[in-house]
Amino acid sequence: MMRFVSKCSIRKSLLCPSKVTCKLKGTWINLPPAAASGEMMLTQNGLMHLFDEIRYEVHGKEIDKVKNVGVVTTIKGFCSFTPSDITRMQPAGWKHINDNQTSRDLMDTTEFVALSACMGFFERFRRVLINCTQSLVLIRSSRDIEAIELIQPDESMKTEVNTPANVDLLKHTTVKITKIKWIVKYFEPNVKTELGLMRILDGKRWLPLEYQHWVIAVYPLVPQTTHHTWSVRTFSNVEKPRYLLIALGKEHSILSQSDFHHCTLCNVKAYLNSDEYPYENYNADFEADKHTSMYNAYTRFQTIYYGRTNPQPLLDRVHYKNLGPIIVIDCSKQNDTVKSSTVDLRIDFECAKAFPQNTSLYCVIIHDCQMEYNAFSGEVRKL
């Protein structure tokens, strides 16, 4: 576990969370030589697969946490990023969907990771923090097999790379992180702003920490049936789910760890207590290339979540099917006048054929989170 700590004050500096980045440097360990069996490279978003958990704290109190970092950020990135964003995110381990070049020397250079692509707090919190101590906790993954893969050196070759010998090679190949640097952006306020902040500090006011939290729910091995109901979890009324990003994946494969699979999915329904989302059925048929409704819901995510008038989804319709569809369910339009102490989330899946063996369900839930902190006393509390 690695912990990074920094402090900010009114007189010296203010912290802007949306500008925080990490700089990583590392090397390959026990890298097998290139052979006819395949070439080594990092998977899509491979740097994030090197960590099991990322946690952010203010005054020692947990503010935001992301578990299963690689899967969460990959699913969220496929929905949020545009093609131009991928060019900017290449130093963070993201690759264009048609990029199949090997990257043996990737970890021998310095890579930048914007925390706004890793945690909801850094993406959505637009205020500044004053007079506080902040900590970033990174928990290293116990294995790196999820972060690396083998590809065929020549696409025209039909060499089998997913062999027991190659799997054993990957298990003995690791990435050693030699340096992590936390880059925190501060700015100094002018005299007028400083006086206003001093009044807030002297008044012992509670300042809001409002953002949207990302949490992942995993169903490891779904039964081999054509219809399955998943009781995901229960939320409090304050933390109602607003968006669901659902993907289906198989057991680890060194051919394509970061890709998901459609599994002949026909329809998906989410239920928040008795409320149904979406109202209409998708009626998809991936084998017949009929998945327009699901793809349209995917393309609308950038508009409903970011308010973009000209969204540019990362996946086109063909890659959406081949790389595995991510089903986006917008449940932000809720009747908040109805008071309920808890909200139960349940998801129904319907497939044309039975789920393949070793299929797992992933659901990234984006929900509201309301906290506040006292800049005078250093207390942090959850509403």
| Residue 240's CATH number | 2.60.120.730
Torsion of CA 105, 107, 111, 113, to 10 degrees: 130
* pTM (global) more than 0.75: yes
| Domain total in the chain | 2
Question: Do 184 and 216 belong together in one domain?
Answer: no
Output DSSP code: residue 101: -
Question: Do 62 and 122 belong together in one domain?
Answer: yes
CATH at 177: 3.90.249.10
Is 204 part of any domain? no
Is 352 part of any domain? yes
Residue 170 is part of which domain span? 2-189
Question: Do 182 and 219 belong together in one domain?
Answer: no
Is 197 part of any domain? no
Question: Do 313 and 277 belong together in one domain?
Answer: yes
Q: Quick one: pLDDT at residue 255? A: 40
Encode the chain (383 residues) as per-residue pLDDT tens digits. Answer: 778 787 777 666 677 777 788 877 777 666 655 544 566 777 888 888 889 999 999 988 999 999 999 899 999 999 999 988 888 888 777 888 766 554 444 555 566 788 888 899 999 888 888 888 888 999 998 888 788 777 665 555 555 556 666 677 777 777 888 888 888 877 788 888 888 888 888 888 899 998 999 999 999 889 999 999 999 988 887 788 999 999 998 755 444 445 688 899 999 999 998 889 998 899 999 988 899 999 999 999 999 999 888 889 999 988 898 887 899 999 988 776 556 678 899 999 999 999 988 889 999 999 989 899 998 888 998 87
Is 377 part of any domain? no
The sign of the torsion formed by the CA atoms of 355, 356, 359, 362 equals negative
Which of 189, 221, 247 terminates a domain? The answer is 189
d(CA 353, CA 359): 13
Question: Do 261 and 328 belong together in one domain?
Answer: yes
Question: Do 160 and 216 belong together in one domain?
Answer: no
d(CA 268, CA 348): 6
The sign of the torsion formed by the CA atoms of 199, 203, 208, 209 equals positive
Question: Do 185 and 215 belong together in one domain?
Answer: no
